[in-house]
Amino acid sequence: MRLPLNPMQSHDMFFRKFFYLTFFAGAIIFLKFSRKRADHFRFKSIGSFAEIKGFDQLTQKQQSDFAASATYIRSDLAISDVRQPSREARGWMYEIKMRTVCSRLSFKGSYLGVDFKVPPHFSLLPQDLKKKFTLNGKIPVYARFQNQKSFNGGAVNVWDEVQISRWVNRTLHGKCVDAGYRGDTGQCLSMAQNPPRGHGVVVGSQMPWIEALALGHGASRLTTIEYSKTVCPGSGYCRKLDVITPSEADVRSGDGTLGPFDFAISYSSNEHSGLGRYGDTIDPFGDIEAIQKVACVLKPGGLLYLAVPMNLGSDALVFNSHRVYGPIRLPLLTANFDVLGVYGRRVFNTSFFTSSGSKDSYEGDVLERSQPVLLLQKHF
């Protein structure tokens, strides 16, 4: 026979039940609130871009990718306009315009991030940098570590004027300069059909084949911005070449003696910017800043011949070697430019995995060395 509870036991049981009920009710309310709060911020992040011109014309998928880019991009590279890609920009997710502040941009990189004595592995980066590098996980990461810091401030690089003359003569005879890239033909075609004129700037050049190509197609003078200290002794074509470091370029840009240029060339250079491979500053948007800085020293309507690894099927970050540009990051790279044409084969692969399926053994050399040339025109 069950004995009746005394008043003290009854009182304790009541409060015990009350405590458990209150705890579970509070937990349920907290979970529902957290979910609503997460939804609120998720939709708020999309809704906050509604004031950007053209945002409402994007599809849901485009808006989602755009939100990741616009959320994690640096404030001095803020996106102001977005539009559907043009016919020439087939494969881009969209095209954008940025509100860049030229005085805040730098050729040597202006991002104040973590200072590594040696180029870091991706796993060593702070979490916030990983999100910025991958645009919150939308760009897959593959491993290929390289330490070529010696190129930055190492031995002086001496250009051979005799070799430059050979390359120029080859161009004058309608032949392409072979520098070992599959995109060489694209660069030759882009210049042959749209010859550079006047004074141009070359961003990144360890071997002056691109300078020779431009001179052969009619350029009158070239200023090259290169990390390695470079000299070109000679009284012929070398007199038309001026090679300066990014630091020197920033000084000239600051005092107004750099440009404005009639055209710009960057071949197989920007995909490395900000990855630390060459001892440069770790910057998730170093490549974007470099192109926008070029835009700042270009004349209105000036042409940019830009070649980078491209795969319109999928973006990739091969850390710390290079980037492969796809539909998500290409719009950031070509911001403030109109796409006039793409010279070379457009690749639409959807996977970068090796046959073993491992991200730790990236085998994208075909894509890395297949770099079609984007002919871009400054439109602001």
Q: Model confidence over 156-196: pLDDT tens digits?
A: 899 999 999 999 999 999 888 876 655 566 778 889 899 99
What confidence score (pLDDT) does residue 71 get? 85
Region 340-354 average pLDDT: 74
Cα 185-188-189 angle, rounded to 5 deg: 85
Structure tokens at 368: 């890395």
Confidence band, pLDDT 50/70/90 cuts, at residue 13: low
DSSP secondary structure letter of residue 235: S
- 295-341 pLDDT, tens digit each: 999 999 999 999 998 888 889 999 988 999 999 999 999 999 999 99
On average, the pLDDT of the chain sits at 82
The backbone region for 83, taken as left when phi is positive above 0, alpha when psi lies in -120 to 50, beta otherwise, is beta
Backbone angles phi and psi of 337, in degrees to 5: -130, 150
What is 80-108 written as a DSSP string?
Answer: EEEE---STTBTBS-EEEEEE-GGG--SS
- 192-242 pLDDT, tens digit each: 899 999 999 999 998 999 999 999 999 999 999 998 889 999 999 999 999
Q: Is 182 exposed, middle or buried (0-12, 13-18, 19+ CB in 10 A)?
A: middle
Give me the domains of the chain, ranges plus CATH numbers: 122-378 (3.40.50.150)
User: What contacts 233, CB < 8 A, 6 or more positions away?
Assistant: 158, 161
Residue 285 three-state SS = coil
What confidence score (pLDDT) does residue 50 get? 77
pTM of the model: 0.83
Helices (H), the chain: 7-47, 60-72, 127-134, 161-172, 184-193, 209-216, 246-255, 286-296, 330-333, 365-369
User: Does 41 have pLDDT greater than 90?
Assistant: no
What confidence score (pLDDT) does residue 36 get? 40
What confidence score (pLDDT) does residue 131 get? 92
What is 40-81 written as a DSSP string?
Answer: HHHHHHHHTTTTSBTGGGS-HHHHHHHHHHHHHS-TTEEEEE
